[in-house]
Structure formats: C-alpha cells, structure tokens
C-alpha cells in the first residue's frame, strides 16, 4: 500500500510540474507571436531558445508520466506527443520566418534540432518500454 501512495504522490507532483511547464511554454509561445506581430525581432532568438529548453523539459516530464501512468494508452500518448511537437514546431517556424527578415539575427537551429530529436527519442523509448513484454 505504501508503494502505491509513494508512486501516486510522485505521479501527482510530476503531473503538476508537467502542467506548469506547459503553461510557461504556452506563455512563451504567445509572447513570441506578439513579438513577431509587433516587430520586436531582437527578442525572438532568446524566445526560440527558451521554447527549445521548455520542450526538452516537457518531453522529460511527459515521458516520466508515460512510464508512471497506471492507465497507459499508446494512442493517447502518441496524440499528446504529436500535439506538443506540432505546437512547438509551428511557433519555431514562425520565429524562423520572422528572423529571415533580419540578417543580423540568427535562428538557434541547434537548440530546435536537439530538443525535437531528444523529445522524439524519449517518447519512442517510453512506447518501447510500455509496450514490451518484458
């Protein structure tokens, strides 16, 4: 019984952290779109880096939730992963297009690539672990 309580408490804390990171990520995404609309392009490289780091944190917490979740569904997990990565890529693409207008500002390609690659790897490992017969 105590193991269940410990796992449940850990799951609840992790879920809270995951939601908190999602809220911060959404705020950063909205701030990025507002900066694009208002022409404040100098802020965009920093926003893109922040989104990449937040995506990594989101992937890490989401993967741990996937491993700890008592009711795991591969389809549900894949839909959530798809939504996270699609939203991330949409905002990063908007930042990339906006930064092409100013040759002095550089889009942080490495941050975006590493965060997407690491996120997909973590999500793939969760699916492999949760669906394996071991």
The boundaries of the domain holding residue 18 are 2-131
Structure letter (DSSP) for residue 134: -
Residue 2 banded pLDDT, cuts 50, 70, 90: very low
Residue 36: how many CB atoms within 10 A of its CB?
20
Distance between CA atoms of residues 117 and 58, nearest Å: 13
More confident position, 76 or 22 = 22
Question: 33 and 87 in contact (C-beta within 8 Å)?
Answer: no
Distance CA 131, CA 120 (A): 16
Which band of pLDDT confidence, cut at 50, 70 and 90, is reported for residue 9? confident
**Whole-number pLDDT of residue 1:** 44
Query: Helix, strand or coil for residue 26?
Result: helix
- Quickly tell me which residue has 């392009």 as its tokens: 41
How is residue 121 annotated by DSSP? H
Question: So what's the pLDDT on residue 121?
Answer: 92
**Sorting pLDDT into bands at 50, 70 and 90, what band is 10?**
confident
Q: Give residue 134's Cα distance to chain centre.
A: 29
| pLDDT band for position 133 (cuts 50, 70, 90) | low
pLDDT digits (tens, 9 = 90+) for 47-97: 999 999 999 999 999 998 888 887 878 888 888 888 888 999 999 999 999
Count structural domains, the chain: 1
Residues 6+ apart with CB under 8 A from 10: 68
């Amino acid at each position: 019984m105590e193991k269940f309580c410990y796992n449940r408490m850990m799951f609840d804390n992790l879920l809270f952290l995951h939601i908190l990171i999602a809220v911060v990520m959404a705020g950063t995404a909205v701030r990025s779109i507002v900066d694009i609309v208002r022409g404040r392009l100098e802020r965009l490289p920093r926003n893109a880096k922040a989104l990449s780091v937040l995506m990594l944190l989101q992937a890490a917490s989401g993967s741990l939730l996937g491993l700890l979740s008592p009711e795991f569904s591969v389809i549900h997990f894949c839909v959530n992963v798809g939504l996270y990565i699609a939203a991330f890529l949409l905002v990063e693409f908007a930042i990339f297009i906006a930064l092409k207008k100013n040759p002095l500002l550089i889009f942080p390609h490495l941050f975006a690539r590493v965060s997407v690659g690491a996120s997909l790897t973590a999500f793939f490992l969760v699916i492999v672990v949760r669906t394996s017969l071991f």
